[in-house]
Amino acid sequence: MRSLVRARSLVLGLVLGPVLGCDRPPEVVKPGAPSTLSPSHGVVLEDTTPKQDVRLLPAEAYMRSYLQLFGGLAPVDVQARARGADGAQLFDTWDDYLSALGFPDYRNDLPRGTQTNAIMVATFERLGVALCDRALEHDWKAKPAPPPLKERVVFAFDEPAAPADAKAFAPRFDVLHRTFLGYPAELAPPDRVKNFFELYQGVAKRHAAPGVKSRFSPDEAGWAAVCYGLVRHPEFQFY
Amino acid sequence: MKIATTDATPGATKRVDARAVTWARCPGGDSRIRGAARSSYRAPMASASALLRRHRAPVRATCRALVASAVVLAASPERAATAAPRTIDEYKHFRALSIDLVGRVPTRGEIEAFESKGFDRDAWIEQHLEGPAYADRLTRVYMDLLRLEVGNAIQVNPPATTLRRATLVGPDKKPVYVFYRRGQRRTREETDGDFCLTEAETGLKFTLNNQPPKGTAKPVPKAALDAHTVLVRPWWLYRDFLSLTPSRRYKAEWSDPPAGYAPIDKIVNEPDGAPTVEVRVCREEAQTRDTGTIYASGRAPPPPAPKPPAGSPPAPPPSYPFGRLRPLPVDDGYAKQHKGEPISCRSSLALTMSTDCGCGIGLQYCMPGDGDGDEPRAFSLPGHEPLDFESPLAAGAQTVSSWHKFWWREEAAHFLRRVFGEDRDAREVLTARYTMINGPLAQFYRATSPASCCGKERAFGMQEEKEPLFDPSAVPIALSPHDVDAWQVVSDRGPHASGLLTMPAFLEKFASRRARAAALYGAFLCKSFVAEDLSLTPSTEADLTKRPGCSTCHATLEPLAAYFSRVEETSWTYLPESVFPVREPRCKLNAQGKVPGFCETFYDPSFSDKSSGMLRGAYASAENAVAGPRGVAAAIVRSPEFATCAVERMTSSFLGRPLTGDDDNLVEALTTTFVEKGYRMRPLIGALARSAAYEKANNQRGGAR
């Protein structure tokens, strides 16, 4: 309703404005009397150091990291694994993602993408979700038994008794944090563990609600969401 | 609670004994590592499993990096005993180093190694400056700049080396394939310059352009088929095609072909789907000699068609003897004059001027195609290779042209990887006479490249390339066309060879003299051409170094372009001084101010005079034209901007941003290192990776939660 009122006002203004103002004399700004400028409050040296910014992970490095997180497989094998046979449609084909990831196309003279854009970020998201879901299935839900801890690339910890409390969450989160962002969570901004714990709790809670259908248990969904958050984190995509 | 403290990456446990695992074991794939890779993430699809052996590169790269980490750690017995406190900046620097020198983010195990007290950052950097990811990283900088992959506009299917395939109805009324070359001269008049069987025998007329045959196929009489075609065991089916009785057939007795060698099904199967054992080829095409004789039929040219009176209805299409769609070929002046003289069967003229030149033993000098169109297909190639040839994406059927162009790019990439991987003098990128080739490139340089010459050059007496940029005799004999993954160094391509500049990938990507010059100017001198701000006025000045509005750029560009006067545009044919002097008296201007017709392709009337013609492109500097590509390479690497530019390219790439004036001190220091160390990249990148600018390049803003 409010937007409707605003739109009406805009239309009225557009229609009546020129009509009401057409006979108004033009505004004239006369020069004022000379005056001294207010005194300086001290001199600040100009900062001439290079204004460096974060670098986007080269597309090749992104892909190699992705392959490594998938267990060091070849691209076609990762594609087969990520696509799966369960109809989840988590992954299309690498060919569909190359230009979005910023790979150059020498044949068609398309340069490398060195800055993110909406399509690239969406692709990071899609690939990240595929990675986390398949990794969770592999690390925790494989039949007849999940692989031993040392063979897990992503969820390299035992699944805590659901739901995890903050104490159980933190060391496990640290494993994921190191995996994706390359440093201990304790060195991250202060609220990071807390924020991700809230994310975990929120997702787990929503998945526990009656009627929610999911391939994952509430706890698994919570951990998968934490993984999504890290694999899509700017600190993963930049360096 | 259980938490893994080591990498799940194959072979990456802390227990890896660096002394027991050597670099030499990685490339072939350590069996323990391969096994772990398989068991860890076994691909559910059979095809994916089958491809695993082929696509071991990521595993190998991971293995190398992990072993490198282990080696660094091994220097310190107390590693992992106690972790050294690291700052967030140190972690981020290590991550950046890993991304740039290992090619990916560090694993948990590598981070753990970095955290140990014994970690030696400098040793780690030095070790990874010798790894394949480092060479890839630097190669990417120049490949990004030059984009050395040729697009679809360029076709590489010379008639002399492209076997097209007709589908006939055999005597048994079943479809039968017959390979042939377009334009092949034959002693049988009915089929001279055409397909080797007539319409009367096949029911088909072959158009020799991109149209399917016309007519309705009928069974070919066995006698005609036997008389004009032969059965051959071709190179693309037999590993041992050079032997007297080839027996190792693809995917049969030859059970382990290289993974990247993948003829399409239509090339290795008969029309009914059965595996092909022998292919049927027109008899002339199956000949195996290296030198033929010039053929002249003595046929008189047909009389010109009478001119229809004005206003008469359009004349019906002309009819030709024997139901052909094309007239019978007639002998040109050269053939008449030199009838019976020897001719190289590797030149393009052999196809149209001899009847006794074919595709060689096992058809080794020709590429097969799956049809009779302009761009037949033959092999499967990956649509993309975002990482490298060893890590391809899904493959599909590609044309003969795509096959050649694919390997051109690989030649450039392998060449660059060698320069950087072996830490050779970076000036060799432009000056080296060596290159790296594999089987398909060997076949290209033996056959397809020479067959691209000569046409109009013949008027100057050049029947075949006299001074090729890549001397076919330099091609290693041992390289077979199937050897897609066997790369060998060719130490000397020939006297005119000059780094990237004389590779087909560069010469076709930048097809004109000016494009070649401008590409070098930008990529290796970090300069570009910017026009001055003025209005162009009409001008008849042919000399662009003088024409107002053009001279701003062309005063520099034309002399640079002149270095490429001896390499034909859109080609790699070298025009030798002995045949194409800069000043050619035969190409002087006549009374009408024109040069003779045969000269126009090579000599520029605008800069010719009444005493001689001027070689195209050479007008701005005859001296540079004589110096050729090696001359421009020498001029560029001697230029003071070369070293600075190389350093700027690398610094900008590693810092991930354009450089500014504030980076001058860094660039100057790095340039000094680069030059003092003999133009080698390893010391430069080592210094850059340790620089404060690189360490602080990741100036992450706050706010990310």
User: Domain residue spans in chain B?
Assistant: 23-128, 158-299+323-374, 380-582+618-635, 639-695
Selected for mutation to probe chain A from B136, B147, B510 (highest A CB count within 10 Å) is B147
**What pLDDT does B56 receive?**
41
**What pLDDT does B699 receive?**
59
Rounded to two decimals, the ipTM of the complex is 0.84
* Contact of B170 with B225, CB cutoff 8 Å: yes
**What pLDDT does B82 receive?**
60
Q: What is the model's pTM?
A: 0.86
Higher pLDDT, B58 or B242: B242
Read off the pLDDT of each residue in A216-235 and give the average, rounded to a whole number: 96
Nearest CA of chain A to the CA of B482: how many Å?
23
Higher pLDDT, A200 or B705: A200
Model confidence over A191-204: pLDDT tens digits?
999 999 999 999 99
Tokens of A96: 């569909």
The answer to whether residue A119 is domain-embedded is yes
* Closest to A238 in 3D by CA, of A49, A50, A51, A61: A61
% residues pLDDT > 70 (chain B): 87
Integer distance in angstroms from the first to the last C-alpha of chain B? Answer: 26
Under an 8 A CB cutoff, do A109 and B147 touch? yes
- DSSP track, B279-309: EEEETGGG---SEEE-----PPPPPPPPPPP
Read off the pLDDT of each residue in B86-106 and give the average, rounded to a whole number: 96
**What pLDDT does B325 receive?**
85
**What pLDDT does B324 receive?**
86
Nearest CA of chain A to the CA of B659: how many Å?
9
For residue B260, the chain A residues in CB contact (below 8 A) are none
* Closest to A180 in 3D by CA, of A142, A115, A135: A135
Q: Tell the residue number behind the tokens 């004349």, with chain if given.
A: B315
Q: Structural domain tally of chain A?
A: 1
What is the Cα–Cα distance from B14 to B16, expressed in whole angstroms?
A: 5
* Contact of A218 with A145, CB cutoff 8 Å: no
Instruction: Band the pLDDT of A47: cuts 50, 70, 90.
Output: low
| pLDDT averaged over every residue in chain B | 87
Q: Is A158 on the interface with B (CB under 8 A)?
A: yes
Search chain B and give the residue with CA nearest A72.
Answer: B59
The answer to whether residue A69 is domain-embedded is yes
For residue A104, the chain B residues in CB contact (below 8 A) are 144, 147
Ordered alpha helix ranges (H), B563-639? 622-638
Model confidence over B399-417: pLDDT tens digits?
999 999 999 999 999 999 9
Helix (H) or strand (E) holding B18: none
**What pLDDT does B332 receive?**
83
**What pLDDT does B353 receive?**
93
* Closest to B400 in 3D by CA, of B283, B481, B456: B481
Evaluate if residue B62 carries a pLDDT over 70. no
Residues in B 353-412 with any Cβ partner in A closer than 8 A: 383-384, 386-387, 391-394, 409
Helix (H) or strand (E) holding A124: helix A118-140
Under an 8 A CB cutoff, do A52 and B54 touch? no
**What pLDDT does A94 receive?**
93
Instruction: Band the pLDDT of A38: cuts 50, 70, 90.
Output: low
**What pLDDT does B58 receive?**
43
What is the Cα–Cα distance from B127 to B72, expressed in whole angstroms?
A: 8
Read off the pLDDT of each residue in A108-115 and give the average, rounded to a whole number: 92
Read off the pLDDT of each residue in A217-228 and give the average, rounded to a whole number: 96
Search chain A and give the residue with CA nearest B655.
Answer: A55
The answer to whether residue A156 is domain-embedded is yes
DSSP state of B48: H
Most confident of B17-31, B53-67, B256-270, B386-400: B256-270
**What pLDDT does B536 receive?**
81
What is the Cα–Cα distance from A177 to A159, expressed in whole angstroms?
A: 16
For residue A189, the chain B residues in CB contact (below 8 A) are 702, 704-705
Model confidence over B219-278: pLDDT tens digits?
999 999 999 999 999 999 999 999 999 999 999 999 999 988 999 999 999 999 999 999
At residue A18, the 3 state secondary structure works out as helix
Range in A209-218, B29-38, B476-485, B681-690 the model is least confident about: B29-38
Range of the domain at A190: 59-237
Selected for mutation to probe chain B from A107, A114, A157 (highest B CB count within 10 Å) is A107
Residues in B 117-136 with any Cβ partner in A closer than 8 A: 136
The answer to whether residue A16 is domain-embedded is no
Helix (H) or strand (E) holding B68: helix B57-74
What is the Cα–Cα distance from B385 to B391, expressed in whole angstroms?
A: 7
The answer to whether residue A49 is domain-embedded is no
Evaluate if residue B47 carries a pLDDT over 60. no
Under an 8 A CB cutoff, do A239 and B698 touch? yes
Model confidence over B543-584: pLDDT tens digits?
999 998 899 899 999 999 999 999 999 999 999 999 999 999
Nearest CA of chain A to the CA of B184: how many Å?
33
Q: Is B111 on the interface with A (CB under 8 A)?
A: yes
The answer to whether residue A3 is domain-embedded is no
Instruction: Band the pLDDT of B383: cuts 50, 70, 90.
Output: confident
Evaluate if residue B420 carries a pLDDT over 80. yes
Is B159 exposed, middle or buried, given 0-12, 13-18 or 19+ CB atoms closer than 10 A? middle
Q: Is B692 on the interface with A (CB under 8 A)?
A: no
Under an 8 A CB cutoff, do A75 and B55 touch? yes
The answer to whether residue A75 is domain-embedded is yes
**Which distant-in-sequence residues (6+ apart) come within 8 Å of A42 by Cβ?**
none
The answer to whether residue A4 is domain-embedded is no
CA geometry: angle B333, B338, B343, nearest 5 deg: 115
Is B258 exposed, middle or buried, given 0-12, 13-18 or 19+ CB atoms closer than 10 A? middle
Integer distance in angstroms from the first to the last C-alpha of chain A? Answer: 46
Q: Is B106 on the interface with A (CB under 8 A)?
A: yes
* Closest to B137 in 3D by CA, of B677, B642, B656: B656
- Beta partners for B222? none
* Closest to B429 in 3D by CA, of B438, B444, B419: B419
Instruction: Band the pLDDT of B318: cuts 50, 70, 90.
Output: confident
* Closest to B617 in 3D by CA, of B568, B548, B572: B568
Under an 8 A CB cutoff, do A239 and B1 touch? no
Instruction: Band the pLDDT of B74: cuts 50, 70, 90.
Output: very low
Under an 8 A CB cutoff, do B698 and A238 touch? yes
Peptide bond into A26 cis (omega under 30): no
Tokens of B672: 């000094």
Model confidence over B81-91: pLDDT tens digits?
566 789 999 99
Instruction: Band the pLDDT of B26: cuts 50, 70, 90.
Output: very low
Higher pLDDT, B532 or B40: B532
**What pLDDT does B435 receive?**
98
Search chain B and give the residue with CA nearest A158.
Answer: B2
Number of A/B CB contacts below 8 angstroms equals 238
Evaluate if residue B650 carries a pLDDT over 80. yes
Search chain B and give the residue with CA nearest A169.
Answer: B1
**Which distant-in-sequence residues (6+ apart) come within 8 Å of A152 by Cβ?**
A135, A138, A139, A146, B4, B8
